[in-house]
Structure 1
Amino acid sequence: MTPVCFLAAGYRGKLGKKAYLEDWISKITSLTGGAATYNVTFEWNDEMGVPEAFTIANFHHNEFYLKTLTLEHIPGHGRVHFICNSWVYPAEYYEKDRVFFANKTYLPSQTPASLRGYREEELENLRGNGTAKLEEWDRVYDYDIYNDLGDPDKGPDHVRPILGGSVQYPYPRRGRTGRPPASSDPKSESRIPLYNSLSIYVPRDERFSQLKMSDFVAYALKSIFQFLAPEFKALFDKTPDEFDSFQDVLQLYEDGFTVSDQSLLKRIREQIPFQMIKELLRSDGEKSFKFPLPQVIKEDKTAWRTDEEFAREMLAGINPVVIRRLQEFPPESKLDTKLYGEQNSKILEEHIINSLDGMTITKAIENNKLFILDHHDSLMPYLRRINTTSAKTYATRTILFLKTDGTLKPVAIELSLPHPEGDHHGALSNVFTPAEDGVEGSIWQLAKAYVAVNDSGYHQLICHWLHTHSAIEPFIISTNRQLSVLHPIHKLLQPHFRDTMNINALARQTLINAGGFLEMTVFPGKYCLEFSSTMYKNWVFPDQALPADLIKRGLAVEDSSSPKGVRLLIEDYPFAVDGLEIWTAIKTWVEDYCNIYYKTDDMVQQDVELQSWWKEVREKGHADKKDELWWPKMHTIKDLINSCTIIIWVASALHAALNFGQYPYGGYLPNRPSTSRRFIPETGTPEYDELKSNPEKAFLKTITSQLQSVLGISLIEILSRHSSDEVFLGQRDTPEWTLDEEALKAFEMFGKRLTEIEKIIIEMNNNGKWKNRSGPVKMPYTLLYPSSDIGLTGRGIPNSVSI
């Protein structure tokens, strides 16, 4: 079935005789899959030496997954282990036999002569030729622009801008699929049907494992099952588009709901393939239409409404990476005044002076007491267009004051709209200050909701999708195109790329595409990805380092006396405190590892694969940012260590902090509404009267609708789960990922350090001194705990952007 050949060290291309799997017919696995072990016997002679690689051809009609090959009793050597972890398709699909290398590490210049040709040829195969449609069995890594989000063949409503390759819409590159152009627009890539979304091309070895696919499909289809048709409105009460009270919302978690509409069930069966229906209806003990209780309301059903919790989540919530120190008052806009007129803040001293514990504004700024969550400049250029859709929202600024107990309190919220006579006339702004009672208290709750809407959309589209998922993909592509599996940096980074291209491809099919789940549930609607493109203009690779980000936002200052290199200006900032521990551990591990292979800066500069990798990341992967002068030059070991640390931090800890709290914090939509549907009511209107007489109902009519809420909750429940085959930071999927003892020892130390960090975080969460760690909702900050069980845990750092 599978002839296998060997290359012997010291012999350029010398091959052993073919050998075949033994007893493969009697051991053939079932259609449901499973592992099987086969024997292979190779002829040997004294000239063969130690095998460094083998080639394999599959003459069966189906592909198989080759996990490992282990050679025992090599004369004069003993055991040689090959880690393969790759799908091998029938030989007819390949121009050359597949090659796998022994589990060794070589810099390009140190590669044995017998392997160099095979090393270079394998990289050429992975690069492909840049043409033709890529098929399931292909292994090609290549770049493309985001020209596959719209579906122009469906009509104007489905057209979206092409992202990437232009000054107007810059964007990171995605993996190329080679699909033909759309019939109505040759610049856009045609799309595959929604029911066939799982077949979108990614290199075969980047696809989800069978185990993870089972979990992912089950929960994804649960969402589709619930929201496939408009008939679901009939499942709700007499006001099908609205929740009538907060208790109405709680019914989603306490009692749930069922589907008895047979016509709807019939439509589901018609539109979802049979094997998916089976997966959906699996017996896993979960009720299909009852959501788990989000942690933010588990201990207290109303504490989310407090000002303290509202502010705390800017430091220890799902999006703790936007708040910054206020360094000028009133806050100034950076928008072009020729286009947008006067956009500086209208918040005045009189609005906040009585909330500063007796300080003047100048003194509060000097003492690092004032902070801002500012979504004004990012949203204002899009707000006029957004508000022509079903969304009705504001651009917001929130000023906060740091109290003596380490907590923040909001002191003013500014809500701004474009001027009705044109953008160049500037903004129309209203300022609101805290109130607890009466209609003023209800309006203050609405003002906080508009801030949460802004922050929810910015989190999902910029901090989460753009800065982790999308920004990492070019590094994955370049690594596989330019760094051999024998290269030490490939071995370092490869675990942090697992499943990312696959989840991103699925996102382009169902989440971020025209009419996808994000457009349906997040307030920018059809402008979602275009908005994220505007924000990519501000993306700078070195600023993705946690210390650099904290310094840039004014939340930390450089401190050479600290082992972390910075001092926090908010001591009780859980994301930053825990994050700096994780960051430092990652950097120490990367430094220890890189120093094993690179003894001098010259070795970095002379590493042809490394230099090609870094050049391609900048010039192809992030091509729209290639001319930025602040990319590291990759001339020194320090450049290499810093760059790899950033990549691992973003793919692991940063993504975990931004992703796995989505359901714990945002699964209760009143706490994190994703859209708003009307403005603050004017005095004398029926809406204003309702706000006075029934503030709960007025609040719920303003934020995410009932149907949008259930769809959004179901989506983030999927995104917040750990799969059953998750591999966490400090772990590898095989203990023999390298033969280098120094590297294994350094990695072991890394794992031990992460265990220590988790204990430190637990101790801090249990220490009442740190009020921002649990807050009024009594919900400990756990998003940067390194470990986790499977499922919906609100903790755990996977190695990669895996969901």
Structure 2
Amino acid sequence: MVNYDVTVFTANRIAASTFNNVFIKLVGRDGESERKWLIGLRGASAFVKGATASFTVSCPASIGKLVLVELDKQRLLLFPEDSWFPDKVEVKSPEGDIYTFPIYRWITDSEVHRFRGGAALTVFADDHHLGRYSRQLELQQRKDDYRWDVYAEGLPHNMKVDDPLSLPCEVRFSFTKTTEFFFTAGTGLTELQLKGLSDCEESWTNFEDIDRVFCCKTTPISEYVQRHWKEDALFGYQYLNGVNPMLIRRCTALPQNFPVTDKMVFPHGQSSLDNEMKRGNIFLCDYKRLDGAQPNTINGKKQYLMAPLVLLQKSPDDKLMPIAIQLKQEPADDNPIFLPTDSEYDWLLAKIFVRSADFSEHQLNVHLLRTHLLAEVFAVSLLRNIPMVHPLYKLLIPHMRYTMQINFLARRTLISEDGVFTRFSASGGEGMVTILRRSLSSVTYSSLCISEDIAERGMESIPNYYYRDDGLRLWDIIHRFVKGILEFYYKNDSKVQQDSELQKWILDIFEHGFLSQECSGIPDRFTTMAELIKFVTMVIFTGSAQHAAVNSGQFDYGGWMPNTPISLKRPPPTEKGKSSEDTILSTLPDVNVTAQGMATMWLLSQQSSDFVPLGQYPEDHFSEQAPCDLIKEFQKELEVLSAAIKARNKHLKVPYTYMDPEEVENSVAI
């Protein structure tokens, strides 16, 4: 007889314990053990939260190199079946070899579950018939668990799910995350309800009343925004480092539908638009995706959603200043071009309409579509097509944490028929789907890769663009990490081409995420290592750094409602000289709309206590030395970048923290 020393690690998380009987079978290249009941002196306490329990499995002879373990649990007579969350199983063979089998998932039934070793294996390298068979069984089950669904025609497909409890346990929120999420959601609105605000459908009568609501929840940046929101410098700064740093581009020729003249913007002849464009000092923001979208009706009142054009100039002191605003796409006598030289209230009202349009462009295109919906596509395709033993699964699964559930909640509570966004934003309802469809048709592969996007928008050299500076460094760090991991498993391009699981993953993304639109530039197969490395880098960057950049500052810049109105209830001015403070107050959203917007932005800006920062991997999916070393190097590089960002921010009036690796979550989890 030979003995195998088996150690079972139960996760140190709420409700991870099981009091059922646990069984194991070891499967090796030369044979397998009997199914063994893991019973010892500790009894049922062997599998409680945080426990480590050791057992001996005996075999008549060595079963060779281990291929997998089979685990199952059976309920005790008269006891209910429970759920168990084991972290991993370690086995020491009679030859002295140690095998690690990562699990990190809930076992909720009495079925047999098979787990492969921590050494990653591509499908072409998996040369054992039982190993290949276990891959097939796993993916068959996953295709049943993770099914595609269509939320609306023309949008990326999503996971079919009826309610959070129908999500597979492995992708649900933890107990901690669930508790904190709904507590934050509840208390944010309850506080405003107690003040009688969430049901008040009246207009604001003065800014002091808005301030009294705002002061119940603030951040240092939101307070700065409240003090400076009327200033042109902050208006321009937000295009670089606010929550929507993706729209602005260098202007080399004015659009034909934006007839700004030199006399308008340089009334004293101090320069010309041609000269300033040649110097690279003129920038354009065009909200054309919003043009013609059906605006909402809120509290029985028609709302207004404009599609402005904004011209900005880099000043000699390196500030980005707005110099012209046209609120509708087509020039006309009743569509004036507003200028900083206009009356205070004319110019301020024009900027308010722009900031309201920016809310819709940001939330629907930049935030919802380009991070949340695409991250879900990447995740569902991974879980349908890539088994746990595959190196791509091990690399990407930490970057998919909670994404399916947060997106389900968004569809149910934000963009559903009675969702907050649908009921209280100008672009909710019919307009939302129109804008999302247009946005998807404009998404290109290059626009998802930050260095290419920055170059295409001509934004390489404008100063104080911290989103660009931090994002480019983060992309490079992620790229080096991904390159190191993938090159360890794929030695040449032909290995990439041979990997049928990998090819199914990218094809599913192309078909279900980008609706087979070749014009997007998204590949439908990988032919080279370079293509694979770039795409996987983009997937990780999108779900971590990019999401943090466009999500984490929502309350900072939107908590003070006049800076980011989620809707406006009066039409834009058709002539100059008629606006006043009363005009602005009667244009801003009603009290209850403000309250709902504030509560939602507060919720979406909060970190959970089980937040996992970029590059931290509490679950050990890799066991080989090389990938483990690469993870440590990845973490060191992120630490260096974090320190550099903190040092820079000490000298900034408005620190840019959203892409500090310590503040970036591993996945789209909020």
TM-score of the aligned structures, taking structure 1 as reference length:
0.75
Question: Following TM superposition, by how much is the alpha carbon of 1:249 offset from its aligned partner in structure 2, in angstroms?
Answer: 1.7
Distance 1:666 1:740, change over 3 A: same
Match of 1:325 among 250, 254, 274: 250
Question: Following TM superposition, by how much is the alpha carbon of 1:682 offset from its aligned partner in structure 2, in angstroms?
Answer: 6.8
Question: Following TM superposition, by how much is the alpha carbon of 1:384 offset from its aligned partner in structure 2, in angstroms?
Answer: 6.9
Structure-1 residue corresponding to 2:310: 398
- Mapped to 2, the partners of 1:723 and 1:36 lie a distance apart of 25
Distance 1:401 1:141, change over 3 A: same
Instruction: Report percent identity of matched pairs.
Output: 25
Structure-1 residue corresponding to 2:266: 353
Question: Following TM superposition, by how much is the alpha carbon of 1:66 offset from its aligned partner in structure 2, in angstroms?
Answer: 2.2
- Mapped to 2, the partners of 1:441 and 1:531 lie a distance apart of 32
SS at match of 1:399: strand
Distance 1:629 1:242, change over 3 A: closer
One-letter amino acid matched to 1:172: P
Question: Following TM superposition, by how much is the alpha carbon of 1:512 offset from its aligned partner in structure 2, in angstroms?
Answer: 1.0
Please tell me whether the aligned partners of residues 30 and 65 of structure 2 are also in contact (alpha carbons under 8 angstroms).
Answer: no
Match of 2:593 among 708, 713, 730: 708
Structure-2 residue corresponding to 1:244: 205
Please tell me whether the aligned partners of residues 226 and 232 of structure 1 are also in contact (alpha carbons under 8 angstroms).
Answer: no
Structure-2 residue corresponding to 1:490: 393
Match of 2:383 among 469, 475, 480: 480
- Mapped to 2, the partners of 1:482 and 1:497 lie a distance apart of 14
SS at match of 2:626: helix
Structure-2 residue corresponding to 1:763: 647
Please tell me whether the aligned partners of residues 383 and 417 of structure 1 are also in contact (alpha carbons under 8 angstroms).
Answer: no
Structure-2 residue corresponding to 1:434: 340
Please list every run of 5 or more consecutive structure 1 residues that lacks an aligned counterpart in the other structure. Answer: 129-139, 147-162, 165-169, 180-196, 255-290, 333-343, 420-425, 556-567, 768-773, 788-795
- Mapped to 1, the partners of 2:286 and 2:155 lie a distance apart of 23
Question: Following TM superposition, by how much is the alpha carbon of 1:449 offset from its aligned partner in structure 2, in angstroms?
Answer: 0.5
Please tell me whether the aligned partners of residues 453 and 672 of structure 1 are also in contact (alpha carbons under 8 angstroms).
Answer: yes
Structure-2 residue corresponding to 1:372: 284
Distance 1:56 1:8, change over 3 A: closer
- Mapped to 1, the partners of 2:21 and 2:354 lie a distance apart of 61
TM-score of the aligned structures, taking structure 2 as reference length:
0.90
One-letter amino acid matched to 2:290: L
Q: Does 1:802 align with 2:669?
A: yes
Structure-2 residue corresponding to 1:19: 37
- Mapped to 2, the partners of 1:779 and 1:699 lie a distance apart of 27
Q: Does 1:750 align with 2:634?
A: yes
Q: Does 1:302 align with 2:224?
A: no
Question: Following TM superposition, by how much is the alpha carbon of 1:435 offset from its aligned partner in structure 2, in angstroms?
Answer: 3.8
Match of 1:415 among 323, 327, 337: 327
- Mapped to 1, the partners of 2:659 and 2:575 lie a distance apart of 46
Please tell me whether the aligned partners of residues 202 and 590 of structure 2 are also in contact (alpha carbons under 8 angstroms).
Answer: yes
Question: Following TM superposition, by how much is the alpha carbon of 1:416 offset from its aligned partner in structure 2, in angstroms?
Answer: 1.6
Structure-2 residue corresponding to 1:455: 358
Match of 2:660 among 780, 785, 795: 785
Question: Following TM superposition, by how much is the alpha carbon of 1:525 offset from its aligned partner in structure 2, in angstroms?
Answer: 2.2
SS at match of 2:542: helix
Q: Does 1:382 align with 2:293?
A: yes
Structure-1 residue corresponding to 2:131: 115
One-letter amino acid matched to 1:447: A
Number of residue pairs matched by the alignment? 644
- Mapped to 2, the partners of 1:84 and 1:234 lie a distance apart of 45
What RMSD over aligned residues (CA atoms) do the two structures have, in Å? 2.8
Structure-1 residue corresponding to 2:160: 176
Distance 1:241 1:65, change over 3 A: farther
- Mapped to 1, the partners of 2:521 and 2:552 lie a distance apart of 34
Structure-2 residue corresponding to 1:564: none
SS at match of 1:480: helix
One-letter amino acid matched to 1:721: Q
Distance 1:228 1:418, change over 3 A: farther
- Mapped to 2, the partners of 1:604 and 1:621 lie a distance apart of 22
- Mapped to 1, the partners of 2:262 and 2:42 lie a distance apart of 80
Q: Does 1:593 align with 2:485?
A: yes
Question: Following TM superposition, by how much is the alpha carbon of 1:404 offset from its aligned partner in structure 2, in angstroms?
Answer: 2.2
Please tell me whether the aligned partners of residues 542 and 548 of structure 1 are also in contact (alpha carbons under 8 angstroms).
Answer: yes
SS at match of 2:561: coil
Q: Does 1:469 align with 2:372?
A: yes
Please tell me whether the aligned partners of residues 63 and 87 of structure 1 are also in contact (alpha carbons under 8 angstroms).
Answer: no
Q: Does 1:508 align with 2:420?
A: no
One-letter amino acid matched to 1:322: L
Cα deviation, 1:412-461, whole Å, max 9, x if unaligned, reads 11012789xxxxxx89521100048xxx1011111100000000111011
Please tell me whether the aligned partners of residues 352 and 411 of structure 1 are also in contact (alpha carbons under 8 angstroms).
Answer: yes
- Mapped to 1, the partners of 2:275 and 2:576 lie a distance apart of 41
Structure-1 residue corresponding to 2:174: 209
One-letter amino acid matched to 2:394: K
SS at match of 1:382: coil
Question: Following TM superposition, by how much is the alpha carbon of 1:213 offset from its aligned partner in structure 2, in angstroms?
Answer: 0.9
Structure-2 residue corresponding to 1:651: 543
SS at match of 2:291: helix
- Mapped to 1, the partners of 2:425 and 2:65 lie a distance apart of 58
Please tell me whether the aligned partners of residues 101 and 117 of structure 2 are also in contact (alpha carbons under 8 angstroms).
Answer: yes
One-letter amino acid matched to 1:71: E
Question: Following TM superposition, by how much is the alpha carbon of 1:383 offset from its aligned partner in structure 2, in angstroms?
Answer: 5.2
- Mapped to 2, the partners of 1:63 and 1:629 lie a distance apart of 47
Please list every run of 5 or more consecutive structure 2 residues that lacks an aligned counterpart in the other structure. Answer: 1-19
Structure-2 residue corresponding to 1:9: 28
- Mapped to 2, the partners of 1:297 and 1:418 lie a distance apart of 34
- Mapped to 2, the partners of 1:235 and 1:509 lie a distance apart of 21
Question: Following TM superposition, by how much is the alpha carbon of 1:112 offset from its aligned partner in structure 2, in angstroms?
Answer: 4.2
Distance 1:318 1:126, change over 3 A: same
Structure-2 residue corresponding to 1:190: none
Match of 2:147 among 117, 121, 142: 142
- Mapped to 2, the partners of 1:235 and 1:627 lie a distance apart of 46
Structure-1 residue corresponding to 2:622: 738
Distance 1:23 1:441, change over 3 A: farther
One-letter amino acid matched to 1:399: L
Q: Does 1:48 align with 2:63?
A: yes
Match of 2:347 among 426, 444, 451: 444
One-letter amino acid matched to 2:436: S
One-letter amino acid matched to 1:366: K
Cα deviation, 1:35-65, whole Å, max 9, x if unaligned, reads 4455544223432234332222232233323
Question: Following TM superposition, by how much is the alpha carbon of 1:325 offset from its aligned partner in structure 2, in angstroms?
Answer: 1.1
- Mapped to 2, the partners of 1:508 and 1:613 lie a distance apart of 24
- Mapped to 1, the partners of 2:383 and 2:226 lie a distance apart of 49
Structure-2 residue corresponding to 1:100: 115
Match of 2:240 among 304, 315, 322: 315
Question: Following TM superposition, by how much is the alpha carbon of 1:297 offset from its aligned partner in structure 2, in angstroms?
Answer: 4.3
Q: Please list, as runs of the form range in 1=range in 2, the aligned pairs for 1:500-649 lying within 5 A after superposition.
A: 500-526=403-429, 527-555=431-459, 568-625=460-517, 631=523, 633-649=525-541
Q: Please list, as runs of the form range in 1=range in 2, the aligned pairs for 1:337-352 lying within 5 A after superposition.
A: 344-352=257-265
One-letter amino acid matched to 1:210: F
Distance 1:203 1:90, change over 3 A: closer
- Mapped to 2, the partners of 1:534 and 1:739 lie a distance apart of 44
Question: Following TM superposition, by how much is the alpha carbon of 1:253 offset from its aligned partner in structure 2, in angstroms?
Answer: 4.2
Please tell me whether the aligned partners of residues 484 and 490 of structure 1 are also in contact (alpha carbons under 8 angstroms).
Answer: yes
SS at match of 1:699: helix
SS at match of 2:36: coil
Structure-1 residue corresponding to 2:16: none
Structure-2 residue corresponding to 1:182: none
Question: Following TM superposition, by how much is the alpha carbon of 1:20 offset from its aligned partner in structure 2, in angstroms?
Answer: 3.1
Question: Following TM superposition, by how much is the alpha carbon of 1:299 offset from its aligned partner in structure 2, in angstroms?
Answer: 4.7
Q: Please list, as runs of the form range in 1=range in 2, the aligned pairs for 1:711-726 lying within 5 A after superposition.
A: 711-726=596-611
Please tell me whether the aligned partners of residues 398 and 413 of structure 1 are also in contact (alpha carbons under 8 angstroms).
Answer: yes
Please tell me whether the aligned partners of residues 456 and 673 of structure 1 are also in contact (alpha carbons under 8 angstroms).
Answer: yes
- Mapped to 2, the partners of 1:529 and 1:249 lie a distance apart of 31
Structure-2 residue corresponding to 1:258: none
Please tell me whether the aligned partners of residues 368 and 569 of structure 1 are also in contact (alpha carbons under 8 angstroms).
Answer: no
- Mapped to 2, the partners of 1:551 and 1:87 lie a distance apart of 45
